[in-house]
Amino acid sequence: DAGITQSPRHKVTETGTPVTLRCHQTENHRYMYWYRQDPGHGLRLIHYSYGVKDTDKGEVSDGYSVSRSKTEDFLLTLESATSSQTSVYFCAISESTLGGEQYFGPGTRLTVT
């Protein structure tokens, strides 16, 4: 398995609180991604990174911010959690400029009450 971990694996939080999810890789891959997966919507890209301090928005970025200060770590922050952000969050890494061969972490199940 690719060396990619996510923490926490499960979290329950209240509406309005900030939440930070962490993705850590040991593969030294350049590209890192945050997705959310919801029934009926499939995998949707939130934010991605193409290098240290280089990030950009995906298709569902509202309410989320990211930071990448080191190659190995990519943080996703929900600035003020809402119930619509209840989801399973996956981090992925890739060395491909097409982004095709991605390796996914185990996921974080987030519940916002």
Partner 1 sequence: EDQVTQSPEALRLQEGESSSLNCSYTVSGLRGLFWYRQDPGKGPEFLFTLYSAGEEKEKERLKATLTKKESFLHITAPKPEDSATYLCAVPSTTDSWGKLQFGAGTQVVVTP
State the residues that interact with partner 1 by CB under 8 A. Answer: 31, 40-45, 48, 50, 58, 90, 92, 94, 96-107
CB of 15 to partner 1, least distance (A): 26
Q: Which is nearer to partner 1, 63 or 104 (CB)?
A: 104
CB of 31 to partner 1, least distance (A): 5
With residues binned 3-state (H G I as helix, E B as strand, rest as coil), the percentages for the chain, rounded to 5, are: 5, 60, 40
Q: Dihedral, CA atoms, 45, 64, 104, 26, nearest 10 degrees?
A: 130
CB of 45 to partner 1, least distance (A): 6
CB of 113 to partner 1, least distance (A): 21
Write down the residue that tokens 């929900």 correspond to.
Answer: 78
Q: Which is nearer to partner 1, 16 or 54 (CB)?
A: 54
Q: Which is nearer to partner 1, 82 or 96 (CB)?
A: 96
Widest distance between CA atoms in the chain: 38
CB count within 10 Å of CB 39 equals 7
At 4, which helix (H) or strand (E)? strand 4-7
